[in-house]
Amino acid sequence: MANYAKINIGNEGRMELHDKLALTGAEVSVNQLPAGAGVPFVHAHKANEEIYGVLAGEGTAVIDGEAIPLTAGDWLRVAPAAKRQFSASAHSGITYVCIQVRENSLEAFTAGDAIMC
């Protein structure tokens, strides 16, 4: 078995990568909302923080009732208990990635987790 997995997600509106890439430590989704559209629910999490990265377009994240404008290049970390909802602006769609991981689970990162081969 190869030490990697590769897929192409095309232009789907939402794609969760957990099963498709056999992820073992995170959930990653790629999301596209057309202009004026929004996620139809507010949600929070029990234990997982979410990291959102805006790849294209613009929109708004409402976090615990606070509207936060988002544009391409923005990154946002949201604590598990925070209530969140996302929408595209009225005149532009938005494409963003969401990375979901257990809060406080990172033990080493970047060079601290690297092994020189």
Considering the chain, what percentage of its residues have pLDDT values greater than 90? 71
Domain of 86, in residue numbers: 27-103
Residue 116 falls within a domain, yes or no? no
- Residue at token pair 């987790």: 113
Residue 39 falls within a domain, yes or no? yes
Q: What angle do CA 38, 7, 33 make, to 5 degrees?
A: 10
Residue 114 falls within a domain, yes or no? no
- Residue 20 phi/psi, 5-degree rounding, is -65, -30
Q: What is the 3-state secondary structure (H, E, C) of 44-89?
A: CCCCEEEEEEEEEEEEEEEECCEEEEEECCCEEEECCCCCEEEEEC
d(CA 48, CA 77): 11
Domain with 65 in it: what CATH number?
A: 2.60.120.10
Q: Which residues pair with 68 in a beta bridge?
A: 61
pTM over 0.85: yes
d(CA 8, CA 66): 35
pLDDT tens digit sequence for 34-84: 999 999 999 999 999 999 999 999 999 999 999 999 999 999 999 999 999
What is the length of the chain?
117
Residue 71 falls within a domain, yes or no? yes
The tally of domains found in the chain comes to: 1
Residue 43 falls within a domain, yes or no? yes
